[in-house]
Amino acid sequence: MVIQVLLLDNSFGPWNQLYQNGALKTWCNTTQSEFHIHAYRCRVPKFENSSKFANRLLISRYGRHLWRPINSILARKRPKTQEQDHVIQVDLPEIWSSIAIKTISALEYVDSNYDYDYILRANASCYINFPALLKTIAKSTEVINYGGPVISSKKFVSGWGILLSKEAVQILMEAQWNTWYADFDDEAIGKILSKSGINPIALPYYEIRDASDILNID
């Protein structure tokens, strides 16, 4: 079984140092040959402070109304993608509203360039117990087309770790994403797959909220 892992990264901001100096190095040094790791991020902004201000605006209550028109403009031209040192660069501005287009672009890149049984879209601040994931898939009594952390209050898999089969990836690539331009990528993925009759399957996960939680991990 081959699993291509896509880590949602960003080119600047408070998360970048954690991604590049912490989780990403740990993931890329894995000895599990079944897993192939890629981060994906957008282009580095010319004016970082302006981008930070734009992101604060876009995540606000008013700013969320701008996502659909902004994404409609960004998607008029198919974003270029290229990979270097396990990082897929998507030619889009690094703003909150571009996450859905950024993700589908990375999925299309992996589908066109790599062999896989599953693609796992995760956050770069997450860690995976690779042997446990393989065992979970092997022991499942139902086909897992779409699985991962499912929070009870939501009807989709959280972006912490979205496991997608080839069938699910094909559905996402053929979908009309402009319908979901106002959503984050994980919510958009859930809505698209639900319309095709594919519902989320809950897979085990552990959320680390603070350092004390680490003490409870075996």
* Residue located via tokens 């897993």: 35
pLDDT of 181 reads 86
pLDDT of 146 reads 97
Q: What is the pLDDT of residues 161-206, one digit of tens each?
A: 999 999 999 999 998 888 888 899 999 999 999 999 999 999 998 8
The pTM of the full predicted model, rounded to 2 decimals, is 0.88
pLDDT of 32 reads 62
| Contact partners, residue 173, CB within 8 Å, separation at least 6 | 104, 107, 108, 111
First-to-last C-alpha distance (Å) of the chain? 26
**pLDDT > 90 in the chain, percent:** 50
State the virtual CA torsion across 11, 203, 177, 153 in degrees, nearest 10.
-100
Helical segments of 59-182, H only? 67-74, 99-113, 130-139, 166-174
Split at pLDDT 50, 70, 90, the class of 19 is low
Split at pLDDT 50, 70, 90, the class of 130 is confident
- What are the Cα distances from residue 105, in Å, to 100, 110, 185, 213? 9, 9, 11, 35
Q: What is the mean pLDDT of the chain?
A: 86
CA 81 – CA 110 distance, rounded (Å): 10
Is it the case that residue 18 has pLDDT exceeding 70?
no
* Residue located via tokens 């990836």: 169
CA 204 – CA 117 distance, rounded (Å): 20
